[in-house]
């Protein structure tokens, strides 16, 4: 607290003002409303002077007097002045309309928070007429690392910026925070339980202006019962749209997340949605011939999933971190590729780390993965927000040893081998390119990288792929509304039109490997697109004329 006596001496004639400020400081920093007796002891002021100052401050609304308890606390005038001051803050001004619109449409409390030091502060709150809506106070502050808003902001930071917020926490807490931030960065929004009030869920998206303006977040706070699991992700997408509008209002270039327009309304007659899972980023389908099951993942939920075609049954096991692929192992177990590298996957979705060659790169994660004919795992990495060409292609010679065999990729994605095992395919969705390499199956060596297929962004981006028994390459096109097949020479032979804009990957399965299973994503799709494509995030199946290649198992 300032030295009020020295300040009063330095500014003759301002003594009364200084005493009034001293009172405000004392009351503002107190853990509970203050009695006049406490204030007399702390200030040493004459009783008459104290009561005159308290009376004036109450009159102007700077203090609130509780007649029954005979105590003083800060008055609403501080909040009014704070809001008035913040009205000149571009971030708040730009967000006003979106906060009001979201609150009215969602029927929940919507807030704007800003980062101040190591804390986030609620600078604007819109609470709807809904009597069950959560109350949030303007001016409330929370440690950034302990709030959904703060973690949404941290997810948008460079690793060196973000690290200062978590250094004071123990190692396990740091690991938990970093895992949640990785998930938030990958999907674009944060979902967390309230750290201060049990039973509340907070969904938040980062907003920012030009350099120097600082960081903020738009957050929806609601009771768990009011926001089911699926609804939380819908709110996240709505917040992302609002954040883009806010950033557009203050001159920050916003990134469009809308897919390409649907080419036509045709859908393959034999295509069926076998599991309307509503996955955020459905990916990594693999046929488990041992159990006659289709295994796949939801990267951004995150979770591992199972589909049993015999009984059309499905199951989901939530994952504590981003999981991008599951792979059968030769010992009858399952492996998973996660943001922490290769891990053993338990029956209930639990993970046990094995090897992470990019532990030194916290802003990267693994994406798609497959096994070669010798049981080696091949997997690509990418930056969490797909913003930089920091991805590499790894070959795991054993589950505990790996090496990078190529690099400089933006969005490492689909991979596979030709039917004769002499060509390896690997996709960089960021470049819109599928590469082909000469492949030495005995050594696991790739050479002679060349372009197999380049796609105009207007036609979507190549994502996951699978190869059939005749060597044709089947590719899912993100934002392309289709899966397409190409001969080994790169000639288009068939297009499977989809009812969803973001098919993500495909694999051959079923007893005779003639069923092509196709995963899809619903992430970041605006509401109007979801209304046109309500099966986004679903698992699809279609019967094919040519079977696929058997699933290879990890050698352990």
Helices (H), 135-170: 148-155, 159-162
The pair of structure tokens assigned to 460 is 């979507």
325: Cβ contacts below 8 Å, ≥ 6 apart = 283, 284, 286, 297, 336, 337, 366, 367, 368, 369, 370, 379
Dump the DSSP string for 208-221: E-STTS-EEEEEEE
Dump the DSSP string for 272-315: EEEE----SBEEEEEEETTTTEEEEEETTTTEEEEEETTTTEEE
Instruction: Please state, in angstroms and rounded to a whole number, the distance separating the CA atoms of residues 346 and 96.
Output: 47
**Residues recognised as catalytic:** 463
3-state secondary structure at position 247: helix
Instruction: Please state, in angstroms and rounded to a whole number, the distance separating the CA atoms of residues 294 and 284.
Output: 10
Instruction: Please state, in angstroms and rounded to a whole number, the distance separating the CA atoms of residues 225 and 219.
Output: 17
Q: Which of 423, 440, 442, 542 has the alpha carbon at shortest distance from 490?
A: 423
Instruction: Please state, in angstroms and rounded to a whole number, the distance separating the CA atoms of residues 10 and 348.
Output: 69
């Amino acid at each position: 607290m300032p030295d009020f006596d020295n300040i009063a001496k330095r500014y003759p004639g301002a003594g009364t003002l200084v005493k009034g400020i001293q009172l405000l400081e004392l009351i503002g920093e107190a853990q509970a409303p203050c009695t006049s007796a406490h204030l007399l002891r702390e200030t040493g002021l004459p009783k008459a002077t104290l009561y005159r100052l308290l009376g004036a401050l109450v009159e102007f609304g700077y203090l609130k007097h509780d007649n029954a308890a005979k105590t003083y606390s800060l008055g609403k005038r501080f909040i009014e002045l704070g809001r008035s001051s913040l009205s000149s803050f571009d971030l708040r001004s730009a967000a006003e309309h979106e906060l009001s619109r979201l609150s009215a449409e969602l029927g929940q409390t919507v807030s704007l928070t800003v980062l101040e030091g190591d804390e986030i502060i609620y600078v604007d709150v819109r609470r709807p007429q809904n009597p069950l809506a959560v109350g949030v106070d303007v001016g409330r502050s929370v440690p950034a690392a302990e709030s959904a808003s703060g973690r949404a902001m941290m997810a948008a930071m460079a690793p060196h910026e973000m690290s200062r917020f978590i250094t004071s926490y123990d190692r396990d807490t740091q690991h938990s925070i970093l895992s949640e931030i990785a998930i938030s960065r990958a999907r674009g929004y944060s979902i967390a339980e309230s750290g201060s009030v049990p039973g509340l869920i907070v969904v938040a998206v980062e907003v920012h202006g030009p350099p120097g303006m600082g960081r903020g977040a738009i957050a929806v706070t609601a009771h768990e019962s009011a926001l089911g699991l699926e609804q939380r992700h819908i709110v996240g997408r709505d917040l992302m749209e609002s954040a883009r509008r806010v950033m557009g209002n203050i001159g920050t270039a916003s990134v469009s997340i809308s897919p390409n327009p649907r080419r036509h309304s045709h859908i393959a007659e034999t295509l069926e949605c076998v599991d309307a899972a509503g996955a955020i980023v459905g990916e990594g389908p693999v046929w488990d011939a041992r159990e006659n099951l289709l295994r796949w993942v939801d990267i951004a939920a995150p979770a591992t999933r199972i589909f049993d075609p015999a009984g059309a049954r499905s199951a989901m096991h939530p994952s504590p971190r981003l999981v991008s692929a599951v792979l059968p192992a030769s010992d009858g177990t399952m492996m998973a590729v996660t943001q922490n590298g290769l891990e053993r996957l338990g029956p209930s979705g639990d993970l046990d780390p094995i090897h992470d060659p990019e532990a030194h790169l916290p802003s990267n994660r693994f994406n798609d993965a497959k096994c070669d004919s010798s049981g080696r795992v091949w997997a690509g990495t990418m930056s969490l927000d797909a913003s930089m060409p920091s991805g590499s292609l790894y070959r795991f010679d054993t589950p505990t040893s790996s090496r990078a065999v190529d690099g400089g990729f933006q969005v490492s994605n689909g991979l596979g081998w030709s039917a004769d095992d002499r060509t390896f395919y690997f996709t960089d969705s960021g470049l819109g390119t599928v590469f082909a390499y000469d492949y030495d199956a005995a050594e696991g060596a790739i050479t002679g990288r060349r372009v197999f297929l380049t796609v105009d962004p207007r036609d979507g981006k190549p994502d996951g792929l699978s190869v059939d028994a005749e060597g044709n390459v089947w590719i899912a096109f993100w934002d392309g509304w289709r899966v397409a097949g190409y001969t080994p020479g790169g000639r288009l032979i068939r297009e499977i039109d989809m009812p969803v804009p973001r098919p993500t990957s495909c694999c051959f399965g079923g007893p005779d490997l003639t069923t092509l299973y196709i995963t899809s994503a619903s992430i970041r799709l605006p509401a109007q697109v979801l209304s046109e494509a309500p099966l986004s995030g679903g698992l699809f199946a279609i019967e094919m004329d040519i079977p696929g290649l058997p699933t290879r198992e990890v050698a352990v």
